[in-house]
Structure 1
Amino acid sequence: MNRAERLSAVLDLLAEGGQVEVDQIVERLDVSPATARRDLDALAEQQLLTRTRGGAVAHSVAYDLPIRYKNQQNPEAKAAIARAASGLVPRGAVIGLCGGTTATAIADALMSRADIMEPSPEPSLTVVTNAINIAMQLAMRPQIKTVVTGGVVHARSYELVGSYVDAVLGSITLDLAFIGVNGVDPVVGPTSHDEREAAVNALMASRAAHPVLVADASKIDKRAFAAIGHRRLFPTIITDDAATPEQRQRLTDSGYDVIVA
């Protein structure tokens, strides 16, 4: 485990209980006490935690995630999709992330990458998002430039929606955009339960050189209320290995480049 991965792991330990001890880091990460203390000092310098005698405590967080994030379904599949999505992102890229649990997993995967988290005078990655929970995660990482769209907060998803989003997304370009869905039908295309979220997701995708759908197998062959752009907007979909060969073939026949995580 390199230093960047270790620092991320320390933050994960801190998130579990709100505090962490040097002895706990030594045991869980198999490092020396001196290394554990240096890592805590480094994170304290970045204002990511507060040092205490023998350990550290988390900074207070002023938000609580909606129930959809607490009771995430198919976490292993979404983690695999997130790793595959992260693998498409070169250092220095400008990417878009919509809201949702899969996009949140992608943010986690990006923050665990050593090449992105390596300290540098310039940002290693730029992320544009309309999800305020993702923005809060990324804001703690100075190596990542975080751009938040305007808009009105959707209480169910913590996504910013509405016409104010257009002002930001309409004035930028993205290398990649990762868009989650509530359903993806080979004929109809990607869909969302909420028409406001669908409109923002379609606009974000249209600003990207390479828009990518991210959907675990439970979303395939499903339709929701609102279409996310036209059917040909997305050339690529990332799904997990629970997708059947028949489902993958239907997506391929409809023109998608299917990546199985």
Structure 2
Amino acid sequence: MTRTDRLTAILDLLAESGHVEVEDIVTRLGVSPATARRDLDSLAKQRLLSRTRGGATTGSVAYDLPGRYNRDDHAEAKQEIALAASALIRPGAVIGLSGGTTNTALAQLLSTREDLNAPSHTPTLTVVTNAINIASQLAVRPNIKIMVTGGILNPRSYELVGPYTDVIMQKVALDIAFIGVNGVDPDLGPTITDEGEAMVNTVMARRATESYVVADSSKVGRRSFAAMAGYDFRHLITDSGISAEHKAAFEAKGTEVIVAPAS
């Protein structure tokens, strides 16, 4: 396990109950107590947790996410998708991240990538997002340049939507966009519960040279309220739970399906 993988795993352990002990890390990750303490100290310096005697808590986090971010039956699949998405991102890239639990997992992974946290006089990554929780998560990374789109906050998702968001998005050019959705269907394409979020997602995807819908397999074949009208849906990153029939149906429509390896 690499150091980046360890840091991500520690944050996952912390998310389970809000606190983690050095002994938990030693047992779960198979590392020495000294390594566990060094990793906790590193995450504390990055303001991702608060150190305590013998462990750490989430006390340094300045906000509470909506409940759907904290109770997720598909967290492992989303972590796998995040790893596959991260592999597409090169240092120096300009990326777009919509809101959602899968992109939140991706943002957490990016925050611990060693190449993006190496000393640099220029941004190692530029992130454009309409999700304030993602912006807050990455804001403590001095090498990552953050642009928040502006707009009206949707308190159910922590995403900014509306005409102000659209105006700002028209002024940026992205290398890659990662679009979180509530459902994705071979015929209808990606769909979102909220029509305002669907519009922002569409604009973000169209401002990117390449765009990828990120959706765990539980969302495949599902349809939500608002379609992403005008979006040329060409890339889907999902997990190994996708059926062969669904995968073939997407590919028949011209959509590349990237299946993230199981961890």
TM-score interval for Structure 1 and Structure 2 normalised by the shorter chain: 0.7 to 0.9
Cα 1:253–1:167 change in 2 (3 A) is same
Q: What residue number does 1:162 align with?
A: 162
Q: Which amino acid aligns with 1:244?
A: S
Instruction: Give the greater-gyration-radius structure (CA).
Output: 1
Q: Cα distance, 1:151 vs. partner?
A: 0.8
Cα 1:85–1:50 change in 2 (3 A) is closer
Report SS of the residue matched to 2:153.
strand
Are the aligned partners of 1:192 and 1:198 in contact in 2 as well (CA < 8 Å)? yes
Are the aligned partners of 1:8 and 1:111 in contact in 2 as well (CA < 8 Å)? no
Are the aligned partners of 1:6 and 1:29 in contact in 2 as well (CA < 8 Å)? no
Q: Residues 179-218 of structure 1: CA distance to partner in whole angstroms, max 9, x if unpaired?
A: 1111112121111111000000001001000011111222
Q: What residue number does 1:131 align with?
A: 131
Q: Cα distance, 1:229 vs. partner?
A: 2.8
Q: What residue number does 1:201 align with?
A: 201
* Bigger mean CA deviation after superposition, 115-124 or 11-20: 11-20
Are the aligned partners of 1:5 and 1:114 in contact in 2 as well (CA < 8 Å)? no
- Cα distance in 1 for partners of 2:222, 2:43 equals 43
- Cα distance in 2 for partners of 1:22, 1:219 equals 36
Are the aligned partners of 1:161 and 1:196 in contact in 2 as well (CA < 8 Å)? yes
Q: Residues 87-128 of structure 1: CA distance to partner in whole angstroms, max 9, x if unpaired?
A: 111111111111111111111222232222323232211111
Q: Residues 139-160 of structure 1: CA distance to partner in whole angstroms, max 9, x if unpaired?
A: 1222321211101110111111
Cα 1:118–1:189 change in 2 (3 A) is same
Report SS of the residue matched to 2:135.
helix
Q: What residue number does 2:236 align with?
A: 237
Identity of aligned residues (%): 57
Q: What residue number does 1:220 align with?
A: 220
* Bigger mean CA deviation after superposition, 4-13 or 90-99: 4-13
Are the aligned partners of 2:50 and 2:60 in contact in 1 as well (CA < 8 Å)? no
Q: Cα distance, 1:43 vs. partner?
A: 5.5
Cα 1:139–1:59 change in 2 (3 A) is farther
- Cα distance in 1 for partners of 2:121, 2:6 equals 21
User: Could you say what the CA RMSD is over the residues aligned between the two structures, in angstroms?
Assistant: 2.7
Are the aligned partners of 2:81 and 2:216 in contact in 1 as well (CA < 8 Å)? yes
Q: Cα distance, 1:230 vs. partner?
A: 2.4
Task: Please give the TM-score of this superposition, normalised by the length of structure 2.
Answer: 0.84
Matched, 1:250 2:249: yes
Q: What residue number does 1:98 align with?
A: 98
Are the aligned partners of 2:8 and 2:108 in contact in 1 as well (CA < 8 Å)? no
- Cα distance in 2 for partners of 1:9, 1:217 equals 22
Report SS of the residue matched to 1:255.
coil
Are the aligned partners of 2:182 and 2:193 in contact in 1 as well (CA < 8 Å)? yes
Cα 1:51–1:189 change in 2 (3 A) is closer
Cα 1:188–1:141 change in 2 (3 A) is same
Structure 2 residue ranges without an equivalent (≥5): none
* Bigger mean CA deviation after superposition, 120-129 or 170-179: 120-129
